[in-house]
Amino acid sequence: MSGSNEDTSPLLGEHRPPEYGTVEEAFPVAEPRTSFKRNLGTAEAFSIIISIVIGSGIFTSPGSIDTNVPSPGFALLVWLVGGILAWTGAATMAELGTAIPGEGGVQPYLQYIFGDVFGFLAAWTWIVAVIPASLAIMSIVFVESVYSAIGENNRSQGAVHKLLSILVLIIFSMANGISTKATTRLNRFFVTSKFAAIVATVVAGIAVVLYNLCSGSANKESQDWLTKSWFGYRKTVGPDGTEIDWSKLHGWEMLGHFSAALYGALWAYSGWDKAIYITAELSAPARQLPLAINTAIPIIVLGFIAVNTAYYILLPWDVVSTTDSVAVTAFNHLLGPGIGLAAAVLICLVVAGSLLGSAFIGSRMIVAASNQNWLPKFLGEVGHVGLRTSRSNADTPASSKSDAPINALIFSTACSTLYIIFGNFRALITFNGLGEYSFFFLTMIGAIVLRIREPKLHRPYKPIILIPALFTIVSGFVIARGAVFAPFQAVVLIAVWGLGLVFYWTRRWWLSQPADSASS
């Protein structure tokens, strides 16, 4: 609908959705629509960000971060850098989310700026890689927290462990299938448990410091925080028993470990982008989205740094790197198995909230891709299983009480199950980070390109250009070094992209056939 005097075509020459231009050579795109009502506000957006970000990451990934840094002080710096990166990314996402309409996270922005293929690949990567891997990680962590509470620290993730993780995944996917309102109510409950877990950990750390300072205790067993340098180089030991001597590492090797550590932090912060996934459901997104992001992210960053400081106070430093359930391990070590069990229950509630929120977001990503005709139509249906017939559409409001995307939830659960079966916690974290930040990197470049190409585009929220530029530089380095450091995960991700391109062109050809387009 824009004037023909200004070139606003996608950068790489592909088409835009119908509201942005013509689509003669594109997919037979479904009629633009949103599948959800605008019935969410700032509190719900804030709640969803908190519910997803403060999840399993803060209570589990400190071990993988500690393994890949030379000291606790560097670990805290990694948490700070990860938080700043998340905040700059979230601010830019808020700019795009309030300027460009659409469902599906970064997908509509990449589609608008670079063209259909990039939008599809973003949606494809999230649907079959990023979100299923995240759900798999959280399901594994849920079960591992229970194992740690009962004193079982073998993280080989055998058949029983994986089966229990799949069961947890199915239960919380089913919970999302009730309705949107039911899910948001559950999220509010889980937000309370998340803050309770953070407060309990920080208070325990403060109590240990005060006790030692007041009593002058001579017991040095768990007082590394008092007797050792927070920035002094030491040897770290991973869960597999391998030892890293930081004094002997070269700069390039050290940067590889730092990138792996940053992936752990970025996964823990994963969720800063999730509020844009529900832009289409916010009643006033131009006001609510920036407010929710700029309130939630600083609170989260400060909380994460405080919690990690507490971990290094509560535990001997050589223990932190060897556990993927650091919070439960800390309470077990400090107060015994009884309190450890209570901590495990609280951590499980935290992970449950994150599982619920991520499944909520993932299903909506699938619906958005289906509405673009990138995925089969039945995956975009809400309120029932399977494809609703045209005759039943008229009486949908009366016959269906659920507005949950059940088909999308089933599909996402199936993908996540595969990652649980074939993956493990730390490999999945790196894989998840590579997948997410490849497209976050492209999105930030796109935001800069859009500032130059369409300076008059209405932007209700517009951070300074330094914000996306900073994210682009840091994330670009992290992706490149991380891919070199973890080549297997990088190859798997490239294979996912290759499979996605085959699916894209095959489906595009299929939908262009006159006889078959009606049956798709």
How many other C-beta atoms lie within 10 A of the C-beta of residue 427?
Answer: 17
The three state secondary structure string of 38-77 is: CCECHHHHHHHHHHHHCCHHHHHCHHHHHHCCCCHHHHHH
29: in domain: no
Cβ–Cβ under 8 Å, residues 370 and 380: yes
Return the SS3 of 282: strand
Note the pLDDT of residue 70.
92
Contacting residues for 497 by C-beta, under 8 A, at least 6 apart: 121, 124, 125
* Cα separation, 326 vs 147, whole angstroms: 12
Q: Indicate the number of domains in the chain.
A: 1
pLDDT in tens, 142-177: 888 777 767 665 555 678 888 999 998 998 888 766
Domain containing 238 — which CATH number?
1.20.1740.10
CA distance 376 to 261: 38
Bridge partners (DSSP) of residue 235 are: 245
**Could you read off the pLDDT tens digit of each residue along the chain, which spans 520 residues?**
334 344 444 444 444 443 433 333 444 433 444 555 666 777 777 877 776 677 777 887 898 899 889 999 999 999 999 999 999 998 898 888 888 866 656 888 898 999 989 989 998 998 999 989 989 988 888 888 777 767 665 555 678 888 999 998 998 888 766 656 666 666 666 777 777 888 888 998 999 888 887 876 555 555 888 888 999 888 877 555 677 888 888 777 888 888 888 888 988 888 787 667 666 677 777 778 788 888 888 989 999 999 999 999 988 888 888 777 788 788 887 777 777 778 778 778 777 777 877 787 788 788 878 887 888 888 888 766 766 654 444 444 444 455 678 888 889 899 999 999 987 877 888 898 899 899 999 999 999 999 999 999 988 888 899 999 999 998 898 888 888 888 999 999 999 999 999 999 998 888 887 754 444 4
Domain of residue 300, residue span: 36-382+401-513
The CA dihedral of 498, 500, 501, 503, to the nearest 10 degrees, is 130
Inside any domain, residue 387: no
Query: Mind giving me the DSSP string for 230-247?
Result: TTS--EEE-TTS-EEEGG
Residue 402 near residue 235, CB atoms below 8 Å: no
Tell me if residue 260 falls in helix, strand or coil: helix
pTM: 0.76
Tell me how far apart the alpha carbons of residues 460 and 462 are, in angstroms, rounded to a whole number: 7
Q: In this structure, are residues 92 and 86 in contact, taking their beta carbons and an 8 Å threshold?
A: no
The type of residue at 502 is V
C-beta of residue 64 within 8 angstroms of C-beta of residue 227: no
Q: What 8-state DSSP symbol labels residue 130?
A: I
Q: Give the separation between CA 302 and CA 299, rounded to whole angstroms.
A: 5
Helices 180-215, 337-371: crossing angle, 10 deg rounding: 150
**17 within a domain of the structure (yes/no):** no
Backbone phi, then psi, for 223, in 5-degree steps?
Answer: -115, 35
Tokens of 5: 């005097």
101: in domain:
yes
Within 29-177, residue ranges assigned H as helices are: 42-53, 56-60, 62-67, 72-99, 107-114, 116-125, 131-149, 159-176
